[in-house]
Amino acid sequence: MKIGLVSLGCPKNLVDSEVMLGLAEGAGHEITNDAGSADVIVVNTCAFIESAKQESIDAILEMAQHKTAGRASRLVVTGCLAERYRDELRAQIPEIDAVLGTGEVDLIVGALEPRAPAGHTRGGLAATTPLALFTRGADGGVRPHQARAARHRDVETALPTYLYDAATPRRLTTPGHYAYVKIAEGCDYNCAFCIIPRLRGAYRSRTEASVVAEARALAARGVKELLLVSQDTTFYGVDRQDRGALGRLLHALDAIDGLEWIRLLYLYPTTITAETIAAIAACPKVVRYIDLPLQHASARVLKRMRRPGNRQSYETLLTSLREALPGVTLRTTFVVGFPGETDEDVEELLAFIQAIRFDHVGVFTYSHEEGTAAAELTDDVPPAVKRARQRRVMAAQRRIVARRARARIGERVRVVVDGPSAEHDLVLQGRLPGQAPEVDPVVFFTDCDPSEYTPGMFVDAEVTGAAGYDLVVRPL
């Protein structure tokens, strides 16, 4: 059969999508990028925040049209939304034929077949609440329920335990010169706003041998850049009481022929060790790029979020990172509008941003998520105030980025070519070591013939200007 797949959410979810495609292809099925020609369509969903849930539902409904009015004969829904609301999805979107949670990735081949079972009988979080979490409007559209969900009953459900390894088939969907490698799954933290531990299970690390074997195979296929991902990448090995595991893994990956860049994503402020920092400094292929979601700077808000640290401890950590890793790129994300957040808390966050001068910042507005501790908090910040605070923080970051860009003009940089720009086919686009795919700004090339460059080439260039958050470079 021809299998089409829509992957939503984070790179960790993308790896699951690529594993499902690899398993399907290994079973003899053909993969297609055209939903209109697919016999079976899989939607791998995200459910981290309200907007992600809505995007997932919209994608499911859009793909369901190919079943009701097109060629597709089967619709399979997988991922975090499926793990969380499997019963509601089946009941309220009858076009769905099978539902697989996050721990059932390896069951995808069976789910593609007619009359296949809809995953394990293990229920998602939906089985623990009497309140329907979706509503269907007069236009037929399905929306996440906006009412505050009733408190979930304490019903024990088995958490996902699946973890792919180097022997698992996988079909890359990223450009051929970079790939994500999930080095661990799950999470052991208890952040008040986050549902991930209940959707993905406890933290479980892959072995070093498994990660290295996969990395070697990817390098042999032409991959030049590895992006290591997990819910907390610096927690790698701690679940096995091996706190030096990440440093050793970086040294092993650094020795693989063919790789040019190794990038760490999703670090955590309390699990970055001196050994990890030393490994980053010592390994030439490990780019000096620290992706550290801090969520806030106010000690009061962080405590309510059940996050560690405060502004002072964060400043100490970030200063030490800059001292140990000269030229390091610092990236973070913040949440504004958390219940009880005050104007004073936002002022402290702004002062923190001004003091640290991050290279990249993302700012999200808080939304209540059923099943989290924060969903029970009643001192909500009005939506308009959340959006205003988000705009204010991003405006402050734009001014920092503009000053940084001006200071970089004339700098010589190493750039990886990603290919033609999505906005302008005749403009070449690439990234610096301090720019991760999809989430960070990019660089645009001038004074060159794009036809002379191929994706995955590494080019020496000079920064000549800026275009908003992006930089403009001239190849040398």
Identify the weakest region by mean pLDDT among 28-37, 125-134, 289-298, 413-422: 125-134
**How many Cα atoms are found within 13 Å in the side-chain-facing hemisphere of 70?**
18
What length does the chain have?
Answer: 476
Is the sign of the CA dihedral 204, 165, 19, 423 positive or negative?
positive
Tell whether 458 is covered by a domain.
Answer: yes
DSSP secondary structure, 224-278, as one string: -EEEEE-SSGGGTTGGGT-TTHHHHHHHHHHT-TT--EEEE----TTT--HHHHH
Q: Do residues 441 and 471 make contact, with C-beta atoms less than 8 angstroms apart?
A: yes
One domain, residues 393 and 421: no
One domain, residues 389 and 430: no
Identify the weakest region by mean pLDDT among 39-48, 91-100, 130-139: 130-139
Report whether pLDDT(468) > 90. no
Q: Which amino acid is at 65?
A: Q
When pLDDT is averaged across residues 182-197 and rounded to a whole number, the result is 92
Tell whether 172 is covered by a domain.
Answer: no
Tell whether 154 is covered by a domain.
Answer: no
| Beta-carbon contacts of residue 242 (< 8 Å; ≥ 6 apart) | none
One domain, residues 309 and 241: yes
Residue scoring higher pLDDT (468 or 105): 105
Report whether pLDDT(140) > 90. no
When pLDDT is averaged across residues 121-142 and rounded to a whole number, the result is 41
| Beta-carbon contacts of residue 292 (< 8 Å; ≥ 6 apart) | 267, 268, 269, 272, 318, 330, 331, 332
| Beta-carbon contacts of residue 392 (< 8 Å; ≥ 6 apart) | 346, 350
Of 162, 179, 168, the C-alpha closest to 26 is: 168
One domain, residues 331 and 455: no
Give the range of the structural domain holding residue 88, as residue numbers without chain letter: 2-133
When pLDDT is averaged across residues 215-227 and rounded to a whole number, the result is 97
pLDDT at 49: 81
pLDDT at 124: 36
Q: Quote the percentage of the chain above a pLDDT of 70.
A: 91
The pLDDT tens digits of the residues spanning 395-412 come to: 999 999 999 999 999 999
When pLDDT is averaged across residues 69-98 and rounded to a whole number, the result is 92
Q: Domain with 366 in it: what CATH number?
A: 3.80.30.20
Report whether pLDDT(155) > 80. no
Domain boundary among 368, 400, 432: 400
Domain boundary among 380, 400, 420: 400
pLDDT at 296: 97
The pLDDT tens digits of the residues spanning 50-75 come to: 888 899 999 999 999 998 888 999 99
Q: Domain with 9 in it: what CATH number?
A: 3.40.50.12160
Tell whether 194 is covered by a domain.
Answer: yes
pLDDT at 138: 46
| Beta-carbon contacts of residue 395 (< 8 Å; ≥ 6 apart) | none
Task: Quote the number of domains for the chain.
Answer: 3
One domain, residues 277 and 355: yes
Work out the pLDDT band at 144, boundaries 50, 70, 90. low
One domain, residues 110 and 198: no
| Summary mean pLDDT of the chain | 89
Report whether pLDDT(148) > 80. no
One domain, residues 332 and 206: yes
**How many Cα atoms are found within 13 Å in the side-chain-facing hemisphere of 340?**
13
When pLDDT is averaged across residues 432-439 and rounded to a whole number, the result is 96
Residue scoring higher pLDDT (117 or 8): 8
Tell whether 261 is covered by a domain.
Answer: yes
Residue 70, SS3?
coil
Tell whether 406 is covered by a domain.
Answer: no
Identify the weakest region by mean pLDDT among 81-90, 97-106, 144-153, 401-410: 144-153
When pLDDT is averaged across residues 91-96 and rounded to a whole number, the result is 92
One domain, residues 246 and 384: yes
Report whether pLDDT(24) > 60. yes
One domain, residues 343 and 467: no
One domain, residues 252 and 371: yes
Q: Domain with 444 in it: what CATH number?
A: 2.40.50.140
Which two tokens mark 424?
């302008």
Work out the pLDDT band at 472, boundaries 50, 70, 90. very high
Tell whether 143 is covered by a domain.
Answer: no
When pLDDT is averaged across residues 135-155 and rounded to a whole number, the result is 41
The pLDDT tens digits of the residues spanning 229-262 come to: 999 999 999 999 998 999 999 999 999 999 999 9
One domain, residues 272 and 358: yes
One domain, residues 241 and 114: no
Report d(CA 97, CA 73) in Å as an integer.
9
The whole model's pTM is what? 0.89
Tell whether 351 is covered by a domain.
Answer: yes
Report whether pLDDT(118) > 90. no
Work out the pLDDT band at 432, boundaries 50, 70, 90. very high
pLDDT at 130: 27
Work out the pLDDT band at 78, boundaries 50, 70, 90. very high
Domain boundary among 374, 400, 426: 400
The pLDDT tens digits of the residues spanning 354-383 come to: 999 999 999 999 988 888 899 888 889 999
Q: What does DSSP assign to residue 374?
A: G
Q: Which residues pair with 465 in a beta bridge?
A: 472
Report d(CA 90, CA 77) in Å as an integer.
9
